Amino acid sequence: MSEKKYTQEEIRGTVDEAIRKANMMSKRELSASELDKVNGGDMELPATHEEIDQKLDIIQSVLDIYGPDVALITAQELGCLAGKDGSGRMPNPFLGGCVDTVRNWMHKELDGLNDGHWETVY
């Protein structure tokens, strides 16, 4: 069975709707350092473990319904993975349905237990 292909507009609408439903819109202005990260398409590490779980739950839901490509775009839009500006060069971590790998890495990163490089997960 082949995965349904979605247009860019359908994907963007799906991602925006998932984020809106989860009330994940920004409630504060970004600092200068955060703006630099967003501008470069970098990952934006959430401030709390609860926020990590909220974002990864959204990604899991999108993965279950729309597949790994849309889950990757969702993760990029939520700042969980670099590449929102098209700069993401890593393999799609959701191809195997593995949201927990990203979730665990982010929790460890927030606790200062990683070396700061996502590539070490692979």
> Is residue 72 domain-resident?
yes
* DSSP-derived secondary structure for the chain: -PPPP--HHHHHHHHHHHHHHTT-S--SPPPHHHHHHHHHT-----SSHHHHHHHHHHHHHHHHHH-HHHHHHHHHHTTSSS-TTS---S--TTTTT-HHHHHHHHHHHHTT-S-S-GGGG-
Tens place of pLDDT for every residue, the chain, 122 residues? 456 677 777 777 877 777 777 766 544 444 444 444 444 456 778 889 999 999 999 999 999 988 998 898 888 888 888 876 656 667 888 988 779 988 998 999 899 898 766 654 54
Q: Is 77 within the bounds of a domain?
A: yes
In a domain, 29, yes or no: no
Inside any domain, residue 86: yes
Specify if 75 maps to a domain.
yes
| pTM, entire model | 0.67
Number of domains in the chain: 1
27 occurs within a structural domain = no
Domain membership of residue 63 (yes or no) is yes
Structural domain that includes position 113? 8-20+34-121
